[in-house]
Amino acid sequence: MPQACCVIARTCKGVNEIKHALEVRQQLCDLLDGRITRTPDGALNLATMHRVKGLEFDAVFIASVNR
């Protein structure tokens, strides 16, 4: 079953920067760290590209992608 949505960055540093920026704006975030847990309602999943391999989401936003 797909999870709601996920914001993906290339590195852990990028994920942490995004998490901080979203939480300053009162957005609830959940870091995907490999443990099986349920994402709280209304929270965005945050993860690195490697962490989401094999997972499914209804929507995906890929941040910090450049040449």
The tens digit of pLDDT for each residue in 22-59 reads 999 999 999 998 776 677 788 899 999 999 988 888 89
Euclidean distance between CA atoms 10 and 41, whole angstroms: 25
Euclidean distance between CA atoms 1 and 35, whole angstroms: 17
Mean pLDDT of 7-24: 94
- Report field, pTM of the whole predicted structure over 0.85: no
Q: Which residue has the higher pLDDT, 67 or 41?
A: 41
User: In this predicted structure, what is the pLDDT of residue 36?
Assistant: 66
Domain boundaries, the chain: 3-62
